[in-house]
Amino acid sequence: MNTSVAWINQYLDPPASAHEQADLLTRAGFPVESREDVRVPDGTTDVRQDIELTSNRGDCLSHIGLAREIAAVSGRRLKLPTPSPKPSGPTASSVARVTNREPDLCPLYLARIIRGVKVGPSPAWLANRLIARGDIPRNNIVDASNFVLFELGQPTHVFDLAKLLNPGKPEIIVRRAHANEPFLPIGEGEKEIKLSTDDLVIADAQRAVAIAGVKGGALTAVTNSTTDILIEIATFAPTTVRNTGRRLGIASDSAYRFERGVHPGQLESAADRIVELILQLCGGTLCKDTLSAGKPIPPQRQISLRPDRARAILGIPITDQQMTDALSRLGFLHKAAKGAISCSIPYPRIDIEREIDLIEEVGRIHGLDHIPIADSIPIRVAPPQPYELAQRAVNDALVGMGYIETVTHSLIAENEAAAFLPPGPGFQLTRLAEQRIVADPILRPSIIPSLLRVFALNRDNGVPSVQLFETASTFAQLSGGDQKSIERVNLAFLHPAADAQHAIRQARGVIDRLVQIVLGNDVKIEVEPTTRLPWFTSWGAGAIKLNNQILGTFGMLSPSVTSIFGVADPLLTAEIGLPEHYHRYPPLSQARALPSFPAIERDVSAIVDDSLAWVEVKSAVASLRLAHLEAIEFITTFRGKQIGAGKKSLTLRARFRAPDRTLRHDEVDPQIASLISTLQKQFHAEIRK
């Protein structure tokens, strides 16, 4: 924030030089970014200093706020204005009225009315203050509003009362904007903009006359012919101001302060200050009473500070009296309680919420340089957590299999994201409201498009067969009224698939191995064919199930999807939610004795319909409950002219073993015969010799 040294000194006794102000503010936690000498119209030289402020200290976005910090650190006396304007006109309610339809977004709206003002140039003292800070004087009405903004940190706005339209008396209405409602901002060269129903506006009976907390309107602006004015002193929800300002690309000093929070309890004193200034500068008659609409002002927060706790945390022998002195200099009213100091928090200090915040204030004002710094600090390195260990193990395994890890941005283009949005009405893309993000405005619903981008870039640079993987967040937004967002961390990998069958088996092997690393060898996954995901081909995709829950999917990418990224190569990819199980790492291992007797294995090759899935065959064989059957395994699939169109040869292996003896082949033959019979009857299979 740009400040004037002379302006800050207006509130300090004794005054402080520019160097002293910079040093004291730095000690208080507000370092000076830059400084320059400024020549003001009366011929004197002032010093402009740019003070760096943290986002939680909106109370210091003002000259009085910074003067209070200087006084608290240095022991100077703080001199505050004590306005007391004298109303002599009719009641304000007989001249205009205020309606607040959105008290949650506008907790309090105050309006004062002055009639018979004379608009003209500001006096030299006021122009000097604004110029020294870096602003351009406009007229005495606008300059008074800006003066209060930078003196107290309270935004205000002034309307020409005669320009507020209404069949009866003028009315101010706080409401949401209508869809595509037109609005012309104040300022030279401004163009009409369209508002949305998410925007909060200040309106008269017919139109929006200001964007709440962001920008005033040109249609009700004060001009040299203005005689009657309505002064707005209000507070608005920070998120509303921030979202509207960013969507419309409008920034203002008022919005900057509303975004950081303005407490309703400070409005009345700010109203008195601006009214007194305008009466002093412009003349006129102040109407009695204040037009007010909104919620009751919340009481001041009461927070207790335990001195012993403060001494333990700060590590210095600071007395109770020193604590209360520090708090008093910051404007905290306090009284002694049993073993504690009970503090009333000033309205502007919305950053003070807990005891630790008060302890920080005591330490800051007492002097952080008084806190001793040890020559050495004993540190015990925390052991790696299960999540970290699991991710290392998974990454090491993938690298060992020839994959390369990528780190990509979570924002992608809309057409890329739309290709990976799950079908159905349940989900929609998550779009960022930030207007500056044009090329890639969507939070990715899948990691796969990011991997495709990297694959395309490598191929274009002469690396056509790279294998990639990444662990990252994906985002989706539920359709419906609540627009709930979902973030999930997934693991995805991608590799070329010139031989589709080999690529599918490779992917299945990779997934099996990764699941075993995280969950152990006893955990088995199942694969079911799926056709519901449009980015996969209709024949080469599977859903991975773990304990009857979908863990993820894998399959051949559809050419219509890869073409979006300029890739024509056949690719296989998988995306699984394995990271949500990393907390279970390492898996428990259990030793088992090796089999004491050999097994008998029989391979069976059957010609079946090409559409038949292995999971159906495995389920049918398992349902037979064949005696001594230890395992049923998939071996291979063969397609060719000798098999016939629409057919495939599926080879499986059945393994039989008895725990107490060696099986004879004649004991296994009936089981194999039953298996073959089931394949023939249930799937119309032709058994190959």
Of 614, 500, 493, 635, nearest in space to 553 by CA: 493
Measured distance CA(643)–CA(638) in Å, rounded = 8
Note the CATH number of domain 2-78. 3.30.56.10
Question: Are 102 and 200 within 8 A, CB to CB?
Answer: yes
Distance (Å) of CA 152 to CA 29, 155, 249, 330: 20, 9, 26, 15
The SS3 call for residue 187 is coil
Quote the pTM value: 0.71
Of 546, 495, 497, 502, nearest in space to 525 by CA: 546
Distance (Å) of CA 435 to CA 160, 544, 674: 32, 39, 67
Measured distance CA(81)–CA(75) in Å, rounded = 19
Strand pairing class (468-478; 485-496): antiparallel
* No. of helices (H) and no. of strands (E), the chain: 18, 35
* Token code pair at residue 638: 């063969």
CATH topology of domain 302-368: Phenylalanyl-tRNA Synthetase; Chain B, domain 1 (3.30.56)
E-strand spans in 479-520? 485-496
Block means of pLDDT (10 residues each) for the chain, 689 residues, are: 96 96 95 94 92 94 97 96 94 95 97 97 95 94 97 97 89 96 91 95 96 96 96 97 93 95 96 97 96 96 95 92 95 90 95 96 91 85 93 97 96 94 80 72 95 96 94 86 81 94 91 95 86 87 90 95 94 96 90 90 95 88 94 90 90 95 95 95 92
pLDDT in tens, 76-116: 999 999 999 999 999 999 999 999 999 999 999 999 999 99
CATH topology of domain 92-294: Phenylalanyl-tRNA Synthetase; Chain B, domain 3 (3.50.40)
Strand pairing class (215-216; 45-51): unpaired
The distance in angstroms from the start CA to the end CA of the chain is 87
The CA dihedral of 668, 673, 676, 677, to the nearest 10 degrees, is -150
What is the reported pLDDT for 482? 61
* Token code pair at residue 167: 């069949």
Question: Are 314 and 361 within 8 A, CB to CB?
Answer: no
Task: Decide if 2-78 and 302-368 have a common fold.
Answer: yes
Residues in Cβ contact with 310 at an 8 Å cutoff, skipping those fewer than 6 apart:
318, 323, 358, 359, 362, 363
Pick the CATH number of 386-584 from 3.30.930.10, 3.10.20.30, 3.40.630.30, 3.30.360.10: 3.30.930.10
Beta bridge partners of 12: 78
Measured distance CA(438)–CA(443) in Å, rounded = 13
CB hemisphere CA count around 675 (13 angstroms)? 27
What is the reported pLDDT for 436? 59
Q: H helices of 367-495, where? A: 386-400, 414-418, 448-460
* Token code pair at residue 496: 């070329």
Q: Domain spanning 600-688: which CATH class is it, in words?
A: alpha beta
Domain ranges of the chain: 2-78, 92-294, 302-368, 386-584, 600-688
**Which amino acid belongs to residue 404?**
I
Question: Are 26 and 32 within 8 A, CB to CB?
Answer: yes
CA angle 563, 496, 393 (to 5 degrees): 120
Residues in Cβ contact with 347 at an 8 Å cutoff, skipping those fewer than 6 apart:
263, 264, 265, 266, 300
What is the reported pLDDT for 485? 82
